[in-house]
Amino acid sequence: MWEQTWEYENGNLTVALTALKIRSLGPGRHADGHGLYLLVKDSGSRSWVLRMQHEGRRRDFGLGSSHDVSLAEAREASSIIRKQVRGGNDPVAAKASRRVRIPTFEVAAQQCYESLRAGWKNKRHESWLSSLTNHIFPMIGKTPVDAVDSALVCEALGPIWLEIPDTANRILQRIGAVLDFAHIKGWRKEETSLRSVRKGLPRQVRPVEHLASMAWADVPDFSATLAAASPTVGRDALRFTIYTVVRSNETRFAVWPEFDLDRGIWSIPAERMKAGDAHSVPLSEPAIRVLRRRWNERASDDGLVFSANGDKPISDMTMTKLIRDMGLADVTVHGFRSSFTDWVAEQTDFAKEVADKALAHKLPNRVEAAYRRTDFFEKRRELMAAWATHVDSGKVG
């Protein structure tokens, strides 16, 4: 068992220290009792030390500067350590085991990825870690995660910032996620802001890329040919997508509880929308007819609408293949949204805001968006009915 060492002067136990006496003591070691000492250096710095002995070996425990630790706090800390020693514990070893081991950025990123991936719904996020592996780990992967700052991130992103701007911006977001994860784990003392990284890199100028679309005037004949084709789940899905001008994934993962066929309303929940806002779609009569046919062939009342068994959605390429089989190599499913936009602008008097709401686009002006709360639902119902009339006006080619 450890034993306390006592300090004697002229054969007498030294008198305990006081707060006033601490400030006036000169250089040397001054005992308070029970092994607690105040060490005063020639420079004037003062620190607390608890000295104890065990099996003839002396051990000193530093308790901090007297500027930060009061006399009462030093006595309390020394009392706790003495109790730990009496219990057979080694405070020095315990303190060492509590030290946080700082991982490298690469290790932190891998742990962050494993923590986040459980909440991802599809496989497209598999590129999350591979993008860091290919472009970032060779530069800063071996750097302790607490040493990664904006300057290092800027240097690592420099080679790809202009060459592959979209990937570079996604990687910057992922680096920020790793550093936030490291802060939560206690590997970084403070939260990290990477806003200054963009200021240290050249401005990215990217050309606008438009998805291949069909001219609005050609949509009716295409639709008529599509309607005359053999009935399949994919054909119904593509026709419905054209009528409603939604994104393909919003059609593919649509389930029956989202629809009110009597009122002609499709309510898409926020978690299924690209912008994260719930979206209500007014259904035209042709769109409802497609749904009623699907309802008669449904596998369950709450399953997927465009599915063979109600559980597995059709492939992302199913609708695209129908277009390719009709000899159209440069048209995409998403492009029908552009066809719709051009038709509204050139052939109708509907305001652009109404068309934007039909496409579930967010207003780019935040101030305007804050004040414009309407979703133009009734006007959109008229618009979607007019669009359906245009789509159904073609002839089989």
Question: Residue 369: is its pLDDT beyond 70?
Answer: no
**Radius of gyration, CA atoms only, the chain:** 35
> In whole angstroms, how far apart are CA 352 and each of 40, 148, 247, 343, 396?
78, 46, 19, 11, 31
What pLDDT, on a 0 to 100 scale, did the predictor assign at position 368? Answer: 44
Question: Residue 168: is its pLDDT beyond 50?
Answer: yes
Cβ partners under 8 Å of residue 304, min gap 6: 252, 253, 254, 255, 310, 311, 312, 313
Render pLDDT for 228-250 as a digit per residue (tens, 0 to 9): 988 899 999 999 999 999 999 99
pLDDT band for 38, please (50, 70, 90 cuts): confident
Q: Which domains does the chain have, with CATH numbers?
A: 3-98 (3.30.160.390), 105-199 (1.10.150.130), 216-391 (1.10.443.10)
**Least confident window among 46-55, 220-229, 347-356:** 46-55
What pLDDT, on a 0 to 100 scale, did the predictor assign at position 265? Answer: 96
Question: Residue 367: is its pLDDT beyond 60?
Answer: no
What pLDDT, on a 0 to 100 scale, did the predictor assign at position 2? Answer: 39
Render pLDDT for 276-291 as a digit per residue (tens, 0 to 9): 889 999 999 999 999 9
Q: What is the mean pLDDT of residues 186-201?
A: 87
Phi (first) and psi of residue 362, to 5 degrees: -85, 145
Where is 282: in which H helix or E strand? strand 279-282
